[in-house]
Every structure is written in C-alpha cells, then in structure tokens.
Chains A and B, each alone.
Chain A
Amino acid sequence: NAGVMQNPRHLVRRRGQEARLRCSPMKGHSHVYWYRQLPEEGLKFMVYLQKENIIDESGMPKERFSAEFPKEGPSILRIQQVVRGDSAAYFCASSPLQTSGNTGELFFGEGSRLTVL
C-alpha cells in the first residue's frame, strides 16, 4: 500500500522560471494538503484541497502560487516566476474523508526540496 508520493524530490530552478510539484495521495484519500517548511522554521499551512475543489487557501501567497487537485491525476503545486525566497521544502499530506470515526490524521510524503538559484 503505497504512501503519499511526491515528485520531484529535488528541483532546481533559476529565478523567473516555473516550478511544478506533484503529489499523489494515499489510495482512498480524497483530501490533500500542502505545507511549506523554510530552513530552521516549522511547517506553514498553504492550501487544502479535495478533488476539483480548493477548500482552504488561506496560507497561499496571493501571487505566483496556485494549486489544483484534478479529478484524475496528482495534485499540483505551481509556483510561477520563482524567486530565491521560494527555496524551501514543500510537503504534501493526505487524509481520508473525515467522518465521525476519522481523527483527521495526516499522512505525509517525503517532501520536494526546491532550490532557486
């Protein structure tokens, strides 16, 4: 039973290029979350998605960042015109549909580490 799969694990981009990070949730999970971890800082919530819907994007920067979770395929976090400050580890997590028996536990991928030169 595969866990949360993120790719690429490492991505290098030059300033002004685009970065696309992919996340395939665990089988049977319908919720995807993206978090950003800056060096020596904790995890910052970015966005929470269900299939074809953005539920909460209160942590997303207003410009250059977007996320989607299409009906088919992985969730994508897209960063346009990257700047050096975007260098960070981006973690994806998934969870099943929360019901009365579900505790909201998240299952994390290994992360994608973006370096902007």
Chain B
Amino acid sequence: AQSVTQLGSHVSVSEGALVLLRCNYSSSVPPYLFWYVQYPNQGLQLLLKYTTGATLVKGINGFEAEFKKSETSFHLTKPSAHMSDAAEYFCAVSGNNNDMRFGAGTRLTVKP
C-alpha cells in the first residue's frame, strides 16, 4: 500500500523567493510519484512526475522535484515564486495497481 505525507498545510513566500514544498512517501513497491496543482474551483493539473531514470524531474511553470529514495522524499521546488503560483499543491504516489493516493495538500501563498 502507498501513502503520502505533505509537511505543512500552508506555505507562504514572497514573490521572487524560493518555493519548497515537502513530500514524503511510503510504498511497498518502487513508486511512481507525482505533483499536481489545483487552482481555485478547478480540477487537478499534473505538474511533474517521476517514474524511472533521472531522479531530478523538471515540470511545467519552472517547477522541479527530486526523488530521494534514501529519504523517501519527493520535495517540490521552484527557484523564484511568481504571484500566479498561488494554488493548492498535492503530492501523490502510485504503485503498480493503479492505486494513486494523495497527500493532504499544501496551500501556497505568494506575497507581493
């Protein structure tokens, strides 16, 4: 079974500052890892995903995440926050049985 823990339900950064959203996972099989973003009153959009291969994954809108097996982590980063990045971010994990599970989400606020 898979599970995800997102540390910090709310993160606030200033525009131009580094964004770091934390995600730790638990999986009994080699995991597939995902970050999704949700804007108000919308569905979830895929930001990036890790399947196999390179552990540093680049996604849309300048986001990237690094898979660290030894730390069971998949933290999301962006060097410089933009006002349009304000949204809810969900980390997710799936195994080999189409069994995706999501974290509780982190709400990112960007201050001008």
CB of B90 closer than 8 Å to a CB of A: yes
A35 and B45 alpha carbons, distance in the complex (Å): 15
Instruction: Please tell me the size bucket of the interface on B.
Output: 20 to 34
B34 to nearest A CB, angstroms?
Answer: 7
Chain A residue total in the interface (Cβ 8 A): 25
**Hey, what's the 0/1 contact readout for A13-36 against B, CB within 8 Å counting as 1?**
000000000000000000101010
When the two chains form their complex, are residues B100 and A42 in contact, meaning their CB atoms are under 8 A apart?
no
**Given contacts A56-B99, A98-B98, is CB(A110)–CB(B105) below 8 Å?**
no
A86 to nearest B CB, angstroms?
Answer: 19
**Given contacts A91-B43, A91-B44, A111-B43, is CB(A104)–CB(B98) below 8 Å?**
yes
A108 and B45 alpha carbons, distance in the complex (Å): 7
A31 and B103 alpha carbons, distance in the complex (Å): 21
**Given contacts A103-B32, A110-B43, A111-B43, is CB(A41)–CB(B101) below 8 Å?**
no
The 10 closest A-B pairs by CB, nearest first: A42-B104, A108-B43, A104-B94, A42-B105, A43-B102, A108-B44, A103-B51, A110-B43, A98-B98, A104-B32
Could you tell me which B residues sit within 8 Å of A by CB distance?
A: 6, 32, 34, 36, 41-46, 49, 51, 90, 92, 94-105
